[in-house]
């Protein structure tokens, strides 16, 4: 079991990273993916035969369910042919004719495999000792983002010092290295660390931020650095996640919260401090908030996002019942949100299955403080992805969900799985 722990220590460093690949010509060669594909070989050498059998049996169960849903959707494509050109954004835009087992179904399924391998790894073998490595990798990831942000300012926008990012995005293989904004004439960039996109950074970091908050003994400076990095991403996705988590936390704590004089004094101190800070810096704060909340809504980008979602929903609503229930095939269509992407690709049945999987360890009646933070992570990650980030393959989400499954099983069994 010691080797399983050591392997994860190395793995944890790379789990948040999505913009650095080992082979630039192959988008899926993220270090975290490679380590995921190698993990069964490690387990084969260190586990007892019956334990490895349990592990592989679980993997095959997941594969069978996924294969069944894929085959059902492809059967629908044979019985009820569809016009693939009705969809605005296809994962493989070069193929505008075929509808049966499109190439993107295979490529997108390959992205799913390492994610499920990490989920299963953490489900079976997670131990609380892993937390410090996840904690530390989160801090390092945030610091990298802040350093890039500072270098961009110091060099007046000529570079952010990122010599690691080498993954290409989109059909044309062009990277959007900087996400710029101007506040009071100051040329700034949005924090994205090693993700390639501020909204991707938000989906990865907000759940990890809530994970850090769950620690009883945490470094407040480290927590503040992570929060600042999220704030400087200037991502509406990040603020959506923070808002959902904060609202849930306030609701969950209301029964146990007692008002005291010291708490009132502390609240007054923070409110007063915020008011003073806003008074002295209201110009750039207003402009910053205007960029996040209003400028995006008035931009062509916002119209494009809504257009993609609207197109998916319109075509889905007018298609046959089979495709509405089971979709046209995993990984065929892509939007700017996971909800309409899943609705078209895997249908209502697949969307329900994905939601159940995501919320499987949600604690309806949280009994411990960790239950509250666990629910915050599940809620925030789900709604951020469904609303504005069409990514299912971020390893950090699968890691956390696997940890929650492990924790629930240990609570039920009263001990470790192995």
Count CA atoms closer than 13 A to 271's CA, side-chain side. Answer: 6
Of the pLDDT bands very low, low, confident and very high (cuts 50, 70, 90), residue 414 is: low
Can you tell me the distance from the alpha carbon of 4 to that of 111, in angstroms, rounded to the nearest whole number?
23
Q: Give me the half-sphere count of Cα atoms (radius 13 Å) on the Cβ side of residue 233.
A: 32
Eight-state DSSP code of residue 281:
T
Q: How far apart are CA 235 and CA 190, in angstroms?
A: 8
Q: What does pLDDT average to over the chain? A: 83
Condensed to tens digits (0 to 9), the pLDDT of residues 366-408 reads 888 899 999 999 999 999 999 888 888 999 999 999 999 999 9
Q: Is the per-residue pLDDT at 173 higher than 50?
A: no
Distance CA 292, CA 286 (A): 10
Q: Sign of torsion, CA 218 222 228 230?
A: negative
Residue 206: per-residue pLDDT: 96
Residue 329 CA: distances (Å) to CA of 68, 72, 191, 350 = 11, 9, 34, 10
Q: What is the mean pLDDT of residues 229-236?
A: 89
The residue ranking higher by pLDDT, 288 or 1, is 1
What pLDDT, on a 0 to 100 scale, did the predictor assign at position 92?
A: 62
Contact call for residues 131 and 215 (beta carbons, < 8 A): yes
Q: By CB neighbour count within 10 A (0-12 exposed, 13-18 middle, 19+ buried), where does 54 fall?
A: middle
pLDDT tens-digit readout, 393-402: 999 999 999 9
Angle between helices 282-289 and 261-280 (to 10 degrees): 90
* Alpha-carbon gap, residue 118 to 401, rounded angstroms: 10
The region of weakest confidence among 96-100, 208-212, 216-220, 231-235 is 96-100
Write the pLDDT tens digit of every residue in 74-84. Answer: 998 888 887 76
**Pairwise CA distance, residues 71 & 62, whole Å:** 14
User: 278: burial class by Cβ within 10 Å (0-12, 13-18, 19+)?
Assistant: exposed
Helix (H) or strand (E) holding 400, with range, is helix 395-413
217-221 CB contacts, 8 Å cutoff, 24+ apart: 218/135
The better pLDDT of the pair 110, 187 is held by 110
> pLDDT per residue over 254-276, tens digit each?
756 555 665 566 667 667 766 76
Average pLDDT over residues 181-206: 83
Which pTM was predicted?
0.87
Closest-CA residue to 371 (of 414, 411, 322): 411
């Amino acid at each position: 079991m010691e080797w399983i722990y050591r392997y994860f220590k190395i793995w944890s460093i790379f789990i948040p990273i999505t913009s650095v690949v080992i082979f630039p010509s192959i988008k899926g060669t993220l270090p975290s993916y490679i380590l995921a594909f190698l993990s069964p070989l490690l387990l084969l050498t260190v586990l007892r035969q019956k334990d490895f059998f349990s592990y592989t049996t679980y993997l095959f169960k997941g594969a069978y369910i996924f294969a069944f849903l894929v085959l059902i959707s492809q059967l629908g494509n044979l019985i009820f042919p569809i016009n693939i050109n009705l969809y605005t954004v296809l994962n493989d835009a070069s193929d505008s004719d075929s509808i049966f087992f499109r190439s993107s179904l295979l490529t997108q399924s390959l992205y799913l495999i390492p994610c499920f391998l990490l989920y299963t790894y953490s489900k079976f073998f997670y131990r609380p000792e892993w937390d410090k490595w996840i904690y530390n990798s989160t801090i390092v990831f945030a610091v990298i983002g802040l350093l890039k942000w500072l270098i961009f300012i110091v060099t007046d926008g000529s570079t952010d010092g990122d010599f690691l990012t080498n993954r290409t995005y989109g059909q044309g293989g062009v990277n959007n290295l900087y996400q710029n904004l101007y506040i009071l004439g100051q040329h700034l960039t949005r924090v994205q660390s090693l993700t390639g996109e501020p909204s991707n950074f938000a989906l990865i970091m907000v759940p990890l931020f809530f994970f850090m908050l769950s620690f009883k003994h945490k470094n407040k400076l480290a927590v503040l650095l992570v929060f600042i990095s999220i704030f400087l991403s200037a991502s509406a996705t990040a603020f959506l996640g923070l808002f959902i988590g904060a609202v849930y936390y306030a609701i969950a704590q209301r029964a146990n919260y007692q008002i005291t004089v010291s708490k009132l004094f502390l609240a007054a101190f923070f409110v007063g401090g915020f008011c003073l800070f806003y008074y002295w810096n209201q110009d750039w704060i207003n402009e910053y908030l205007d960029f996040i909340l209003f400028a995006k809504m008035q931009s062509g980008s916002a119209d494009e996002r809504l257009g993609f979602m609207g197109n998916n929903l319109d075509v889905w609503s007018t298609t046959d019942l089979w495709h509405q229930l089971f979709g046209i095939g995993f990984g065929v269509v892509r939007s700017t949100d996971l909800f309409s992407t899943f609705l078209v690709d895997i249908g209502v049945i697949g969307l329900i299955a994905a939601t159940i999987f995501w919320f499987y360890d949600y604690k309806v009646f949280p009994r411990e403080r960790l239950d509250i933070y666990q629910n915050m992570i599940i809620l925030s990650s789900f709604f951020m992805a469904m609303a504005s980030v069409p990514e299912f393959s971020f390893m950090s989400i699968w890691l956390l969900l696997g940890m929650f499954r492990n924790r629930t099983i240990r609570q039920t069994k009263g001990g470790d799985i192995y």
